[in-house]
Structure 1
Amino acid sequence: MSAELTLHAAFVGHIAAALDALERAGTLPAGLNRAAVAVEPPRDPAHGDLATNAAMVLAKPAGTNPRVLAEALVAELAKLPLVSAAEIAGPGFINLRVDTAAWLAELRAIAALGPDYGRSTLGAGSTVNVEYVSANPTGPMHMGHCRGAVVGDALAALLEFAGHRVVREYYVNDAGAQVQVLGRSVHVRYREALGEDVGAIPEGLYPGDYLIPVGQALAAEFGDRYAAAPESEWLDLFRTRAVAAMLVMIKDDLALLGIHHDLFSSEAELQAAGKPAEAEAWLRAQDLVYDGVLEAPKGKTLEDWEPVALPLFRSTRFGDDQDRPIRKSDGTWTYFGADLAYHFQKAQGADALVDIWGADHAGTVKRIKAAVAAMTGAKGTATPFEVKLVQMVQLLRDGEPVKMSKRAGTFVTLADVVREVGKDVVRFTMLTRKPEAQMDFDFAKVVEASKDNPVFYVQYAHARICSTLRKAAAEGFAPDAAALDRLGDEELALVKLAAQFPRLVEAAAVAREPHRVAFFLGDLAAAFHAYWNIGNDRPDKRFIVAEDAALTGARLFLAAQIGQLVRNGLALLGVEAVEEL
Structure 2
Amino acid sequence: MNLFADIRVLVIDALTALAAEGVLPDGLDTRNVAVEPPRDAAHGDMATNAAMVLAKPAKMKPRDIADALAVKLAADPRVETAEVAGPGFLNLRLAPGVWQALVGTVLSQGSAYGRSVMGAGQKVNVEYVSANPTGPLHVGHTRGAVFGDALASLLDYAGYDVTREYYINDGGAQVDVLARSVYLRYLEAHGQEVAFEDGTYPGDYLIAVGEALKDKVGDAYLDKGEQFWLADIREFATAAMMDLIREDLAVLGVTMDHFFSEKSLYGTGQIEAALASLDAKGLIYEGVLEPPKGKLPEDWEPREQTLFRSTDHGDDVDRPVKKSDGNWTYFAPDIAYHFDKISRGFDHLINVFGADHGGYVKRMKAAVAALSDDKVSLDIKLTQLVKLFKDGAPFKMSKRAGTFVTLRDVVDQVGPGVTRFHMLTRKNDAPLDFDFDKVLEQSKDNPVYYVQYAHARVASVLRKAAEAGIVVDDATLAAADHAKLDHKAELAVLQKLGEWPRLVEIAARTNEPHRIAFYLYELASDLHSLYYQGNDNPALRFLQDTDAATSQAKIALARSVAVVISAGLGILGVTPLDEMR
TM-score by length of 2: 0.94
- Mapped partners of 1:240, 1:33: distance in 2: 59
- Give deviations 1:423-442, integer Å, cap 9, x for gaps: 10000000111111111111
Q: Which residue of 1 aligns with 2:462?
A: 469
**In 2: Cα distance, 1:304 partner to 1:135 partner:** 30
Give, in angstroms, the shift of residue 21 of structure 1.
3.5
SS in 1 for 2:352: strand
**Which deviations, in whole Å up to 9, do the C-alpha atoms of 1:347-383 show, x marking residues without a partner?**
2321111111111111111221122222222xxx431
CA contact (8 A) 1:194 1:223 kept: no
How far apart in 2 are the matches of 1:185 and 1:77?
72
What do residues 156-197 of structure 1 show as CA deviations (whole Å, max 9, x unaligned)?
111111111111111111111111111111111122223322
Taking structure 1 as reference, are residues 160 and 32 closer, same or farther at Cα in structure 2, changes over 3 Å only?
A: farther
Q: Deviation per CA, 1:256-314: give whole Å up to 9, x if none.
A: 1111111111111023322222122221221212111123344338x843322111112
8 Å Cα contact 1:138-1:178 kept in structure 2: yes
Moved more, 514-523 or 180-189: 180-189
1:346 alignment partner, SS class: helix
- Decide which moves more: 350-359 or 528-537: 528-537
Q: 1:127 to 1:93 in 2, by over 3 A?
A: farther
After TM superposition, the structure 1 = structure 2 runs for residues 44-123 of structure 1, keeping only pairs within 5 Å, are: 44-123=40-119
Matched ranges for 1:430-579 at <5 A? 430-479=423-472, 480=477, 481-487=479-485, 488-579=487-578
SS at match of 1:482: coil
* Structure 2 unaligned blocks of 5 or more: none
Q: Distance in 2 between matches of 1:359 and 1:514?
A: 18
Are 1:272 and 2:270 matched, yes or no? no
How far the C-alpha of 1:26 sits from its partner, in A, is: 5.7
1:154 is displaced (CA, Å) by 0.6
Residue pair 1:478, 1:556 contacting (<8 A) in 2 also: no
Code of the residue aligned with 1:493 in structure 2: it is: A
The one-letter code matched in structure 2 to 1:357 is: F
Measure how far apart 1:90 and its partner are. 2.9
Cα shift at 1:22: 4.4
**Amino acid in structure 1 at the alignment position of 2:167:** Y
Q: CA deviation at 1:540?
A: 3.0
Cα 1:203–1:433 change in 2 (3 A) is: same
Aligned-residue RMSD, C-alpha: 2.0
Alignment partner, residue 416 of structure 2: 423
Identity %: 55
Q: Say which SS state the counterpart of residue 372 (structure 2) adopts.
A: helix
For residues 375 and 118 of structure 2, the distance between their equivalents in structure 1, rounded to whole angstroms, comes to 20
Q: CA deviation at 1:64?
A: 4.3
Give TM-score scaled by structure 1 length: 0.94
Query: What's 1:392 paired with?
Result: 385
Amino acid at match of 1:400: A
Stretch of structure 1 that moved more, 319-328 or 518-527? 319-328
2:127 corresponds in structure 1 to: 131
| TM-superposed deviation, 1:146 | 0.5
> In 1, distance between residues paired with 2:180 and 2:149?
33
**Which residue matches 2:324?**
329
Query: Measured at CA, do residues 170 and 26 of structure 1 come closer, stay the same or move farther in structure 2, by a change above 3 Å?
Result: farther
- The answer on 1:145 being equivalent to 2:141 is yes
The DSSP-based 3-state class of the residue aligned with 1:321 is coil
Tell me the secondary structure at the aligned position of residue 499 of structure 1.
helix
- Asked if the contact 1:374/1:382 (under 8 Å) is kept, the reply is no
Q: Which amino acid aligns with 1:522?
A: Y
When residues 35 and 228 of structure 1 are mapped into structure 2, their CA distance, relative to the original with a 3 A threshold, is farther
Kept after mapping to 1: 8 A contact 2:5/2:35 = no
Are the equivalent residues in 1 in contact too, given 2:418–2:439 (CA < 8 A)?
Answer: yes
Partner Cα separation in structure 2 for residue 333 and residue 27 of structure 1 = 65
Structure 1 runs (4+) deviating above 6 angstroms are none
Seen in structure 2, the aligned counterparts of structure 1 residues 443 and 293 have a Cα distance that, compared at 3 Å, is: same
Q: Partner letter of residue 495 of structure 2?
A: K
Mean CA deviation greater in 213-222 or 571-580: 213-222
Distance 1:121 1:62 in 2: 32
Q: How far did 1:558 drift? A: 0.9
**Amino acid in the other structure paired with 1:18:** A
Question: Judging changes above 3 Å, is the alpha-carbon distance between structure 1 residues 234 and 326 closer, same or farther for their aligned structure 2 residues?
Answer: same
**Number of matched pairs:** 572
Conservation of the 8 A alpha-carbon contact between 2:285 and 2:307: yes
Partner of 1:217: 212
Unaligned runs of 5+ in 1: none
The match for 1:12 among 8, 14, 19 is 8
Larger mean CA deviation between 494-503 and 292-301 belongs to 292-301
Distance 1:31 1:142, change over 3 A: farther
| Preserved CA contact (<8 Å) 1:469 1:478 | no
Amino acid at match of 2:341: K
Which residue does 1:161 correspond to in 2?
Answer: 157
SS of corresponding position for 1:372: helix
Hey, what does 1:338 align to over in structure 2? 333
* Of 277-286 and 22-31, the range deviating more from structure 2: 22-31
* Alpha-carbon distance in structure 2 between the residues aligned to 1:177 and 1:35: 51
Matched, 1:371 2:367: yes
- Code of the residue aligned with 2:403 in structure 1: it is T
> Quick check: 1:404 aligned with 2:413?
no
Residues 75-84 or 260-269, more deviating: 75-84
Distance 1:184 1:33 in 2: 64
Change (3 A) 1:25 1:290: farther
Alignment partners' CA distance in 2, 1:562 and 1:336: 48
Measure, in 1, the Cα distance between the counterparts of 2:136 and 2:187.
22
**SS of match in other structure, 2:480:** helix
Q: Distance in 1 between matches of 2:27 and 2:369?
A: 28
8 Å CA contact 2:46, 2:91 repeated in 1: yes
Write out per-residue CA displacement over residues 188-222 of structure 1, whole angstroms, 9 at most, x where no aligned residue: 11222233222x32240011121122222222222
Query: 2: CA distance between counterparts of 1:514 and 1:58?
Result: 32
Amino acid at match of 2:269: G
Structure 1 residues 272 and 570, CA gap change in structure 2 (3 angstroms): same
Distance in structure 2 (CA, Å) of the matches to 1:203 and 1:482: 72
SS at match of 1:387: strand
CA contact (8 A) 1:312 1:324 kept: yes
Mapped partners of 1:186, 1:40: distance in 2: 58
Distance 1:272 1:70 in 2: 65
Letter aligned with residue 514 of structure 1: P
Aligned counterparts of 1:20 and 1:272: Cα–Cα separation in 2: 61
Shift of 1:548: 2.9
Q: Is the 8 A contact 1:133 1:148 kept in 2?
A: yes
Tell me which residue corresponds to 1:383. Answer: 376
CA distance in 2, matches of 1:88, 1:145: 50
Tell me whether 536-545 or 282-291 shows the greater mean CA deviation. Answer: 536-545
User: Which residue, out of 306, 312, 318, partners 2:313?
Assistant: 318
